[in-house]
Amino acid sequence: MAKMAADPRTQEWWALMKPMQKPLDTRKAGEWWAAMEEVFHVD
């Protein structure tokens, strides 16, 4: 993960995408993503 985070192209992509992501109000304190219940599973 650290190697991916250090990649300049990845950083560019994250900078473009971050404004398009809105964290849900139901997430836990300090988390960006909220956990969701799995509603189906495909093997």
Per residue in 23-40, pLDDT tens? Answer: 888 888 888 788 788 899
pLDDT of residue 20: 93
The C-alpha atoms of residue 38 and residue 34 are separated, in whole angstroms, by 12
Helix, strand, coil percent content, the chain, rounded in steps of 5: 40, 0, 60
User: Which pLDDT band holds residue 3 (cuts at 50, 70, 90)?
Assistant: very high
Question: What pLDDT does residue 40 have?
Answer: 92
Look at residue 4 in the predicted model and tell me its pLDDT. Answer: 93
CA nearest to 32, candidates 42, 19, 22, 20: 22
Strands in 1-43 per DSSP E: none
Name the residue with higher pLDDT: 4 or 24. Answer: 4
pLDDT cut 90: percent of the chain above it: 47
